[in-house]
Amino acid sequence: MRLPFALAAAALIGCSGPSPIEYEGPVAGWPEYGAAKGGGHYSPLTQIHKDNVGELEIAWVYHTGDYDDGSASLAPSSFQNTPILVDDTLYLCTPFNRVIALDADTGRERWSFDPKLDTSQRYLQVCRGVTAWDDPRRKPGRSCARRIFMGTLDARLIALDAHSGEPCEDFGQKGEVDLGQGIGRVDPGEYGVTSPPVVIRDLVVTGSYVLDNRRSDAPAGVVRAYDARSGELRWSWNPVPPGQSQMEFDPATGERIYRKGTANVWSIMSVDPERGLIFAPTGNTAPDYYGGDRRGFDYYSSSVVALHASNGQVIWRFKTVNHDVWDYDVPAQPTLFDFPHGRGTIPALVQVTKMGHLFVLNRESGRPLFPVEERAVPMGGVPGEVLAPTQPFPTRPPPLHPGEPLTPDDAWGFTFWDRGKCREWIASLRSEGIFTPPSLQGSIHYPGSSGGMNWGGPAVDPERHILVVNTTRVANHIRLVPRKAVTPEQAAAQYGFEPALGSPYGLERLPLLSPLGAPCNRPPWGTLVGVDLARGEILWDVPFGTTRDMAPFPIWRKLGVPNIGGPIVTASGLVFIGATTDDFLRAFDSETGEELWRGRLPGGGQATPMTYRTSRETKQFVVIAAGGHGLMRTTGGDALVAFSLPE
């Protein structure tokens, strides 16, 4: 009698339907790249929670049609976009800078705009997001009463009507502003915009990307604010040292241009409308790995800088690296939050870095809210270099990346043979831990220039005071090559060597990988970390991702893998994140780090997801771009994927 009873019980379990969906909970959109103007990647939604997240399934998939496998350009495209939601419309941009509007509940296309981008000479094919702005002077429904702004890879700032996708004719020249004005000579693919601009009051503000290590007189890293209606330039900030002119004379054209080689703002900025502040994460003064010719010109490099929105004047700066020669530029959006203090709160921001350091600052003054210590670091750089003797280290939270020297005994490999090759390579290099200077011998760069943390940034739960962030742990080999010793093969290389023209050295830079393609340092090569922001303590730290889609079956192991992209967090205590080299979107418990669910993606999820619910009659969706990362060689594609609970 037991067997029929067991079969009947199994049948009942198998036929049980999905859990009832709660429609009475909150409704929320995703109006900014980071969910809010100050970032945070937080949603108050609760329809998807810890008890039902395991039931998530694909609701719809939209294919943009924009994908390049590298045959039409210098490198494959990367679909790193995070859409925004305004009312019931999703707005996104593709790696070719097409802007697309979708019905948020069905994924059906409403319109698309093509700026006719030439991708043939592009090393980067990336657009991480767009920005929406409602003009309070225009009645809703009128043309360009709501505008969508996007910066392009060929250095244009474009304004579109959110309803139709048509250019706003009154902005700049027929809807465009030329960001190349005042920049001077630019090589193909060297200068443009990959991150969404920010809007504060009636200003649209943008930085730019500048390709690293190409030349010491690289295009200026100027940040500019434009009138959101007319496109007129309102102010500019070129990160030159205080008291020096933003401009210089260009002998090639006879024009005054922004001074070259300054630190750029390539990542995402934040704004505090109440205080009228813009927070800019800065990159490096060119070139990245040799600073002997800077003469103090890197005053604003690798810093968080607070600018006054009305005029671009600097209010404060906080340097995360002194005299940066490691490409440790500030990679992610400064995240604004209220720091619990006594019976009240302090307006604060947290800045994640490539070093694995988290700096928690008072956003009105820039002063650290946890002590920061200047500690001695290795010296002895290449001839001509003048290194900083100390570097800032936060005491809390503790570093999220190991900073100790990598030794031959730390070598790792899938086999005894490739581990031995890694031992030999590590033994040949200078390795003195984080901030080991670049050398002629060759140095281990660990964390590497991809982090630690990168542009995906953190997610912050303001109720639980928990920060969640993903890290990468892959060492690099870096070596400075005297200019006279640069070979023709190195000079012509597309990968592994960067010319840094105008400086005394070229740069050899490679990931420290075994002959079988595994990182030479021990796993985990990627982690997901939860931090108590109130106490500055690590709550949990778990390996993140598997070797699936990196290695052949059956070598699929949960080792923690390299990753790029970021997390989001919801009021129900869930973390959603793609990012890993295996093609999954995952959900974690924000309080414990336990993995609760994962859903297969049609491509690499090297983007930050978002979530929304448009009304009390509709479901909560979690949406992620799944088109891969060209330089990481993850699974390419053009898919935007939405997950929801089944009916």
Q: Write out the catalytic residue numbers.
A: 327
Beta bridge partners of 471: 527
Over its C-alpha atoms, the chain yields an Rg (Å, rounded) of 24
- Spatial separation of the C-alpha atoms in residues 127 and 104, rounded to whole Å: 20
* Secondary structure of residue 82 in the 3-state scheme: coil
CA dist 413 and 520 (Å) reads 6
By CB atoms closer than 10 A (0-12, 13-18, 19+), residue 243 is exposed
> Tokens 């925004």 — which residue?
84
Spatial contact of 496 and 510, defined as CB atoms under 8 Å apart: yes
Q: What gap in Å lies between CA 110 and CA 94, rounded to an integer?
A: 15
646 C-beta neighbours (distance < 10 Å), count:
13
534/345 Cα distance (integer angstroms): 10
Alpha-carbon gap, residue 269 to 34, rounded angstroms? 10
Burial category of 356 from C-beta neighbours within 10 Å (exposed 0-12, middle 13-18, buried 19 and up): buried
- The phi and psi torsions of 574 (rounded to 5 degrees) equal -110, 145
CA-to-CA dists, residue 86 to 29, 83, 158, 238, 457, angstroms = 7, 10, 18, 33, 22
Question: Dihedral of CA 234/237/238/243: which sign?
Answer: positive
Measure Cα distances from 233 to 46, 177, 203, 236 in Å. Answer: 42, 9, 9, 8
Task: Enumerate the β-bridge partners of residue 305.
Answer: 280, 317
Sorted by sequence, the CB contacts under 8 Å of residue 65 that are 6+ apart come out as 638
Amino acid at 350: V
Q: How far apart are CA 461 and CA 297, in angstroms?
A: 38
For 227, the token pair is 């009138």
Quick one: 116 exposed, middle or buried, by C-beta within 10 A (0-12, 13-18, 19+)? exposed
Give the bridge partners for 587, in sequence order: 576, 597
Task: Give the β-pairing of 89-93 and 84-86.
Answer: antiparallel
Dihedrals phi, psi of 240, to nearest 5 degrees = -90, 160
- Hey, what are 136's tokens? 């309070």
Element (DSSP H or E) covering residue 418? helix 416-427
Alpha carbons 380 and 127: distance in angstroms, whole number: 40
**CB 543 within 8 Å of CB 526:** yes
Q: How far, in Å, CA of 84 to CA of 407, rounded?
A: 45
Cα torsion 348, 352, 357, 360 to 10°: value is: 0
Nearest-10 Cα torsion for 44, 49, 53, 55: -110
